[in-house]
Structure 1
Amino acid sequence: MSQTVDRALSILPLLAEGPAGLEQVATRLGVHKSTAMRLLRTLHEHGLVYRQEDQRYRLGARLFALAQEAVENLDIREIAHPHLVKLNEATGHTVHLAVYEEKEVLYIDKVESRYPVRMYSRIGKPVAITVAAVAKLLLADLPEPERRAVAERLDYPTYTPRSTPNADAFLKELAKVREQGWATDLGGHEESINCIGAPIRDASGRTVAAASLSAPNVVVSADELLALFPQLRRTAEAISDDYSGRTHPT
């Protein structure tokens, strides 16, 4: 039975390359045409493949519907949390997870640092969108017209002398973030707090969330925090792999 399932599932990536005839499927699987036909018929009955008028087979609409349903039911927070905890345990610093929803960037998870100094950020609360590393990552991934529209409608509070002053400066920063694939907030919201962020991407490469590592100057310097970026990036990549259903090194 397991061999039959394996053969049937092997047909799907073949058809993902484009429509294929019975002989092509049989050859690829290394089976007799009758066996290939039986597998294709079963997949067709479940809507996973479709038989065209030219007698070739392609992926069926049911497969795409299942994939879409699976994506919609993914809980990025649940997937990310174990990884965020490991990063926190390895570094000792505060770890955040954020998403872009309804024109706001919101923290949806937080793992506190192990030292007495605590950050005021709270799960479910909007971030300081013009300075936060996670916000820069999420907005940088938007299409250019939408990115510009968002930047132009925002206010630009002067939290510190390092805060983003205006829309032009913000757009330049987003362009930089988009190119380099990571972001920072080095005293832009609170002079004593530094933060680095990395994107979490779905299977298409779209940024669906952002993870960050934050620490006060009294604990580590900005340079010392930046030196931890490879760990943050690996964490974000592991979350992306789990979210997309890809395998990743342990």
Structure 2
Amino acid sequence: MSQSLLRAIALLERVAAGTATLGELAEAEGVHKSTVLRLLRVLEDSGYVQRTDDFRYSLGPGLFRLAQQALDDIDVRALAAPRLRRLRDEVGQTVHVAAFDGRTATYVDKLEPRDAAVRMASRIGSPAALHCTAVGKVFLAALPLPEREALADALDYPRLTPNTLTSPRELLAAAAEVAERGWAYDDAENETFINCVGAPVLGPGGRVLAAVSISVPDVLLPRDAVHDLVPQLLSATREVSRACGYLPAPPTEPEPDPEPDIKPETETEPTEEPVP
């Protein structure tokens, strides 16, 4: 890789980190201002940096366009497939992957056990109802509260089983629990004999890229046993999220307990008892 290209990349990284003026950038790179200015002009012409009226540099719209294209080009299905095949084999149940366009969830992949005794009716390309599927609740819970409420109000609520949620109030309460807990369930709400658990796949910045679910007929496992599969589900979605560029925030150290404000005891001279 040429020295000029390496230096241009270094300049972009320094601008992104807040090094903003020509003088600061030249000093940080240890080169003459004319060299830095020549590279900055190329980057500016390409839209990767922009200069303000006070001669400070910031990242330009061309770079954001590339970043957005990179996000759009993340192929979650391809990145997730190896890990989700392992998840399917670990739990011996059907794994679904769903995508969301802001209003509708759609199944984009389905991994069935090789020796499945019961085949499910779900198909790749079919919709996943937001009000009665685990993946649907995952997507709803990921929305900012105003968008979540507006979408819940706009949905239809066909009752598919006796357990189906049938009102915005019920669905919003369930979505709030999902947002707090980090995973969702469908307890025979979409089909009378199927229980599911679901969790999000995250991308850069914590954006929800997809949802993954484990679906189990009740003739194979009871509901509580399906809920017991959540740790394996979350382990898989965490790995897929990392493959998709998600960087979890580092854990924060707990604040140490303040030292108790104990005043030192003052020693007193012993007093002599009077002699009788």
**Which residue in the other structure is 1:206 paired with?**
207
| CA-to-aligned-CA distance 1:36-64 (integer Å, 9 cap, x gap) | 44543443353322333433322122111
Preserved CA contact (<8 Å) 1:198 1:233? yes
Task: For 1:33, give the aligned amino acid.
Answer: H
After TM superposition, the score normalised by the length of structure 2 is: 0.77
Which stretch of the first structure deviates more once superposed, 105-114 or 12-21? 12-21
Preserved CA contact (<8 Å) 2:203 2:246? no
Which stretch of the first structure deviates more once superposed, 182-191 or 36-45? 36-45
Aligned positions of 1:1-250 closer than 5 A: 1=1, 5-18=5-18, 20-29=20-29, 31-34=30-33, 36-37=36-37, 39-101=39-101, 103-114=103-114, 115-244=116-245
Instruction: Name the CA distance, whole Å, in 2 between partners of 1:2 and 1:230.
Output: 47
Preserved CA contact (<8 Å) 1:138 1:208? no
Task: For 1:144, give the aligned amino acid.
Answer: L
After TM superposition, the score normalised by the length of structure 1 is: 0.84
Alpha carbons of 1:28 and 1:216: their partners in 2 closer, same or farther (altered >3 Å)? farther
The root-mean-square deviation of aligned C-alpha atoms, in Å, is 2.7
Task: For 1:88, give the aligned amino acid.
Answer: R
Instruction: Name the CA distance, whole Å, in 1 between partners of 2:145 and 2:51.
Output: 40
Preserved CA contact (<8 Å) 2:138 2:184? yes
Deviation of residue 140 (structure 1)?
A: 1.7
Structure ID, larger Rg: 2
Task: For 1:133, give the aligned amino acid.
Answer: A
Which stretch of the first structure deviates more once superposed, 48-57 or 195-204? 48-57
User: Structure 2: which 5+ residue stretches go unaligned?
Assistant: 249-276
Preserved CA contact (<8 Å) 1:203 1:244? yes
Q: Residue 212 of structure 1: SS of its match in structure 2? A: strand
Preserved CA contact (<8 Å) 1:22 1:33? no
| CA-to-aligned-CA distance 1:113-147 (integer Å, 9 cap, x gap) | 23221111111111233210000011122233332
Task: For 2:155, give the aligned amino acid.
Answer: L
Q: Residue 174 of structure 1: SS of its match in structure 2? A: helix
**Which residue in the other structure is 2:272 paired with?**
none
| CA-to-aligned-CA distance 1:145-196 (integer Å, 9 cap, x gap) | 3322332333333333322132211111111112222101122223432211
What percentage of residue pairs aligned between the two structures are identical? 42
Instruction: Name the CA distance, whole Å, in 2 between partners of 1:146 and 1:245.
Output: 23
